[in-house]
């Protein structure tokens, strides 16, 4: 009888999921889909599609627009993308993450009293990656000129009605912004008044950024007049940004305000085309960027979860939540110790980490009865026929288990200390980075998670370009992570993690989310919501997820005590049934609640049965999509 009622409850819960009414309607399209973090930026993508561009053209236009609108990033930030090429039927990865500048060493930051590189200011900056990422994507796989792609962003820079979300973030951060003269001049047009930031709906003008973008277009058009190809002309614009007069002013403005970036740092940096990481989950190929991102965390988690019958557990049952939490803790513990820039020694043990055998071992170690606060990195080296060279370092990580410090569940991209379930905390959850999703009827698909240069950002001289703050994702001590110690020319291990999946050799899902360390937590659950619990893409975007704090923060705070894991801390949706809450509390969980727990997910589902596209756009904040 008990088994009967369990099956009945499971059947009813799955039926409820299928019937779930969404707050936003799903998007439907036949020809193209453009989704991103701001309505005007989605319109920029739609404009390029209407002009005959492909998904790469549209994605670049949306990326440029979101940077111009300060959608938790600026032009000096970083870009990472997955692109599906329908001609080769391959998934390509673009690494347009900037690097640590000259002089950015562990000794340098320790001498200033830091335990991590700084959270704000010119010393937090890596070299800018987004301008280069746009140029590389567009030149290699787009069809339009840079002038056509940047026209919407340039019109925005000339003046657009700013949204309340961005305007209010500027106002909250105005004291820090006033420390940096070029930021103050751009972002605070009402100095001396009670409200110094722009007001919602006010036309926000960025003349210096417009001048920078105009210089890039001038370089492209000049090259075209001399007989250059489309690709060569785009790279002429790239050179003007990284090697010409734009670079000169960027470096001057950076160094004047105390930054480290040199002209050689800009000239020597280039984006990289890479092979993505992939695992097969029940016949679905899931792709992520390499281990300089946290993307393989989701792949590891899927490998572990393959060893459990998730559908039988039931969507967001206590058993399901517990299994997810423990699995994510294992994968994040490996991330925190083993991930880093693969261009630098030592070499990360990715073959072992992503092996099915290692996942089976980790699944067997999962405590099924209660939260395990002692979960640490595993040993993947035997699964690639090697001996772990860092076994002694692992023994020194005893402080990893200390749960004495308070810590927010998402990185602080804002000033001030914020408690859970406050308006300010909610704003952090909505922001955190942005995502860009684009697909067209020819089969091109693009998934991007760009970030960096969020408010409060240091603007580099008269360029109008806000510098990245991503240097804080490095560590200064190999005991924390021997693969991610800061060094000049090195890329930090970032949270940014676009996603793509193939099924039966054809595009299945393109998806991404903002939110720092919660990104792959939410994307994992989004994917399972569709694959295991048959949700539509919009239902999966809005569905209640969980979030774990039992990991090292990648952003926010300069001291070890501010970054430590918080074992057992979990965020649940405030409509979680009482029985589930009680069961989890008995398992040792410390629960917080909120009415939004799934993160601002944006996604495209490929409906091959009907020959159409389904778009899902988060019911958080201002994420928006347009299809045709």
Instruction: Read off the pLDDT of residues 336-358 as tens digits, 9 standing for 90 and up.
Output: 999 999 999 999 999 999 999 99
% of the chain with per-residue pLDDT over 70: 91
Average pLDDT, the chain: 92
* CB-CB neighbours of 130 under 10 Å: 30
For the chain, helix, strand, coil in percent to 5 are 40, 15, 45
Specify the pLDDT at position 4: 35
CA distance 602 to 111: 42
Residue, of 151 and 426, whose pLDDT is higher: 151
CA distance 73 to 38: 12
Name the helix (H) or strand (E) containing 325: helix 318-338
Closest CA to 138 of 220, 236, 231: 231
Q: What is the pLDDT of residues 514-558, one digit of tens each?
A: 888 999 999 999 999 999 999 999 999 999 999 999 999 999 888
Specify the pLDDT at position 10: 47
Is the per-residue pLDDT at 92 higher than 90? yes
CA distance 530 to 317: 16
Specify the pLDDT at position 12: 41
> Is the distance from CB of 616 to CB of 538 less than 8 angstroms?
yes
Backbone region of residue 25 per phi and psi (left: phi > 0; alpha: psi in -120 to 50; beta: other values): beta
Closest CA to 77 of 495, 436, 468: 468
Q: What is the pLDDT of residues 5-23, one digit of tens each?
A: 344 444 444 444 555 789 9
Q: What is the pLDDT of residues 28-83, one digit of tens each?
A: 999 999 999 999 999 999 999 999 999 999 999 999 999 999 998 999 999 999 99
CA distance 97 to 576: 38
398: pLDDT confidence band, cut at 50, 70 and 90? low
Specify the pLDDT at position 20: 75
Question: DSSP for 436-464?
Answer: EEEEETTS-EEEE--BB-PSS--B-GGG-
Sheet with 277-281, strands from edge to edge, namely 27-29, 612-617, 601-607, 506-513, 499-503, 284-288, 277-281
Question: DSSP for 511-571?
Answer: EEE-SGGGHHHHHHHHHHHHHTT---HHHHHHS---EE--S--SSS-SSHHHH---TTEEE
> Is the distance from CB of 432 to CB of 411 less than 8 angstroms?
yes
The position carrying tokens 């785009």 is: 234
Is the per-residue pLDDT at 506 higher than 80? yes
**Domains of the chain by start residue, with CATH:** 42-270+454-463 (no CATH), 274-451+494-627 (3.60.20.40)
432: pLDDT confidence band, cut at 50, 70 and 90? low
626: pLDDT confidence band, cut at 50, 70 and 90? very high
Q: What is the pLDDT of residues 248-284, one digit of tens each?
A: 999 999 999 999 999 999 999 999 999 999 999 999 9
Specify the pLDDT at position 17: 54
Is the per-residue pLDDT at 497 higher than 70? yes
- The structure tokens listed for 125 are 């900056």
3 state SS of 110? helix
> Is the distance from CB of 134 to CB of 63 less than 8 angstroms?
yes
CA distance 247 to 239: 9
Specify the pLDDT at position 19: 56
Q: Using the 8-state DSSP alphabet, how is residue 56 labeled?
A: H
Q: What is the pLDDT of residues 458-477, one digit of tens each?
A: 999 999 999 999 999 999 99
Q: What are phi and psi of 223, to 5 degrees?
A: -65, -40
CA distances from 435 to 115, 119, 246, 511 (A): 30, 22, 27, 8
What is the pLDDT averaged over residues 143-155? 98
598: pLDDT confidence band, cut at 50, 70 and 90? confident
What is the pLDDT averaged over residues 156-172? 96
């Amino acid at each position: 009888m008990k088994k009967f009622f369990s099956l009945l409850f499971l059947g009813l819960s799955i039926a409820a999921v299928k019937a779930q009414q969404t707050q936003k309607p799903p998007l439907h399209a036949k020809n193209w889909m453009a989704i991103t973090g701001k309505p005007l930026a989605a319109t920029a993508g739609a404009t390029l599609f209407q002009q005959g561009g492909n998904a790469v053209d549209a994605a670049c236009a949306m990326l440029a627009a979101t940077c111009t609108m300060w959608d938790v990033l600026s032009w000096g930030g970083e870009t990472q993308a997955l692109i599906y090429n329908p001609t080769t039927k391959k998934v390509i990865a673009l690494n347009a993450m900037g690097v640590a500048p000259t002089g950015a060493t562990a000794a340098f930051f320790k001498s200033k009293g830091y335990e991590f590189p700084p959270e704000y200011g010119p010393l937090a900056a890596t070299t800018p990656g987004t301008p280069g990422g746009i140029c590389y994507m567009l030149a290699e796989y787009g069809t339009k000129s840079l002038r056509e792609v940047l026209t919407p962003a340039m019109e925005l820079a000339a003046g657009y009605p700013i949204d309340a979300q961005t305007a209010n973030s500027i106002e909250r951060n105005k004291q820090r912004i006033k420390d940096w003269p070029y930021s103050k001049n751009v972002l605070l047009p009402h100095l001396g008044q009670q409200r110094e930031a722009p007001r919602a709906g006010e036309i926000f003008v960025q003349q210096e950024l417009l001048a920078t973008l105009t210089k890039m277009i001038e370089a492209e058009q000049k090259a075209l007049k001399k007989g250059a190809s489309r690709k060569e002309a785009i790279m002429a614009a790239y050179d003007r940004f990284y090697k010409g007069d734009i670079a000169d002013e960027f470096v001057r403005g950076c160094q004047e305000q105390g930054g480290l970036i040199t002209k050689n740092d800009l000239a020597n940096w280039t984006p990289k085309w890479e092979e993505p990481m992939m695992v097969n989950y029940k016949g679905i190929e899931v792709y992520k960027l390499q281990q300089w991102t946290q993307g393989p965390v989701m792949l590891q988690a899927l490998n572990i979860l393959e060893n459990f019958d998730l559908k039988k557990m039931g969507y967001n049952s206590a058993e399901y939540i517990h299994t997810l939490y423990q699995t994510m803790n294992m994968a994040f513990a490996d991330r925190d110790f083993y991930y880093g820039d693969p261009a630098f020694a030592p070499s990360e043990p990715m073959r072992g980490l992503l092996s099915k055998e290692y996942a089976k071992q980790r699944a067997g170690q999962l405590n099924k009865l209660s939260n395990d606060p002692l979960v640490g990195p595993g040993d993947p080296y035997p699964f690639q026929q090697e001996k772990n060279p860092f076994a002694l370092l692992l023994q020194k990580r005893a402080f990893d288990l200390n749960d004495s410090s308070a810590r927010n569940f998402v990185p602080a991209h804002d000033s001030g200390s914020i408690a859970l379930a406050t308006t300010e905390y909610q704003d952090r959850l909505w922001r955190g980075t942005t995502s860009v999703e684009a697909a067209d009827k020819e089969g091109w698909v693009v998934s991007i998670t760009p970030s960096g240069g969020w408010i409060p950002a240091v603007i580099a001289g008269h360029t109008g370009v806000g510098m990245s703050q991503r240097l804080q994702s490095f560590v200064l001590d190999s005991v924390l992570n021997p693969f991610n110690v800061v060094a000049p020319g090195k890329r930090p291990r970032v949270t940014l993690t676009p996603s793509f999946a193939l099924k039966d050799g054809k595009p299945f899902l393109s998806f991404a989310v903002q939110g720092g360390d919660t990104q792959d937590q939410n994307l994992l659950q989004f994917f399972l919501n569709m694959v295991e619990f048959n949700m539509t893409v919009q239902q999966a975007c809005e569905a209640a997820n969980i979030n774990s704090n039992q990991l090292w923060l990648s952003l926010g705070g300069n001291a070890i005590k501010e970054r430590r894991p918080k074992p057992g801390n979990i965020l649940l949706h405030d409509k979680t049934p009482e029985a589930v809450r009680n069961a989890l509390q008995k398992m040792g969980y410390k629960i917080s609640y909120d009415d939004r727990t799934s993160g601002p997910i944006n996604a495209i589902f490929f409906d091959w049965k009907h020959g159409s596209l389904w778009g899902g756009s988060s019911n958080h904040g201002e994420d928006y999509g347009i299809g045709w």
